Amino acid sequence: MHDFALHRPRSLSEATAQFASGGEAAYLAGGHTLLPAMKSRLRMPDALVDLSGLGLSGIHREGDRLWIGAMTRHADVASGATAIPALASLAAGIGDAQVRNRGTLGGSVANNDPAADYPAAVLGLDAVVETDRATHAADDFFQGMFTTALADGEIITRIGFAIPQAAAYAKFRHPASRYAIVGVFVARFAAGWRVAVTGAGPGVFRWAEAEAALAAGQGANGVTLAADDLNSDIHAGAEYRAHLAGVMLRQAVATLA
């Protein structure tokens, strides 16, 4: 592993200053992606800025949104996001106990792995992502594989999930990593339906055809996802992922029913 300096700031301003102090820096949240990348020298930052001392954890409800701090660990989301049971269930299905007790909401969302679970909840629940600089709508936040609307050095502070009338998440997981081969998050609001798909493509995306079918009262049967732009790798081909998306959609809708 490349030598690096470790900073433990006590404020957001201190954290951003240390990030910009020179050389290549990286923020450390749970570290489940960053540290393996450093061990294999895919990432070689000169400095790590540990965000654990900034007080960015906790769960509380404000009106029609459930706000969760960026440094809240998966295990705490699983036990504490009671206002949105589908979100709590999603968090309980991430990785294993060790991952859930160290990994953080903000770290996962900022990393935007195409097979991660949280992006589907952020998009499906019409969340807003607050940072030290701006507020990002979910529909504008995810911009492709490992790419988001975050500027260099920008820190997620908390995420506000809109509380739905009902929601469910269904995932066909990889048996070892428990990442989503395909995951589908379905949420019903007074204004309509939102359906988000993770694992299938190069990034999380909304499934417009499924939303339209549910809004029209047609249900999930017969809704198909085009395989044209989906991932094809050693775990699953594009056509299989398209098939799985339909299966996961039906499972999620059945859970709602």
98-154 residue pLDDT tens: 999 999 999 999 999 999 999 999 999 999 999 999 999 999 999 999 999 999 999
Cα separation, 139 vs 143, whole angstroms: 9
The CATH number of the domain holding residue 244 is: 3.30.390.50
State whether 195 and 171 are in the same domain.
yes
- Give the total number of structural domains in the chain: 3
State whether 122 and 69 are in the same domain.
yes
The CATH number of the domain holding residue 41 is: 3.30.43.10
Contacts of 162 (CB under 8 A, 6+ apart): 64, 65, 125, 126, 127, 189
State whether 22 and 115 are in the same domain.
no
The number of beta carbons lying within 10 Å of the beta carbon of residue 96 is: 9
Closest CA to 72 of 30, 113, 135, 111: 30
Name 68's bridge partners. 59, 159
More confident residue, 256 or 1: 256
Q: Range of 200's domain? A: 166-256
Name 206's bridge partners. 196
pLDDT per residue over 29-55, tens digit each?
999 889 889 999 989 999 999 999 999
Cα separation, 245 vs 131, whole angstroms: 32
State whether 158 and 172 are in the same domain.
no
User: Residue 148 has what DSSP assignment?
Assistant: B
Q: What is the pLDDT confidence band of residue 158, given thresholds at 50, 70 and 90?
A: very high
Name 182's bridge partners. 172
Closest CA to 12 of 55, 58, 46, 45: 55
State whether 170 and 150 are in the same domain.
no
| Predicted pLDDT of residue 132 | 97
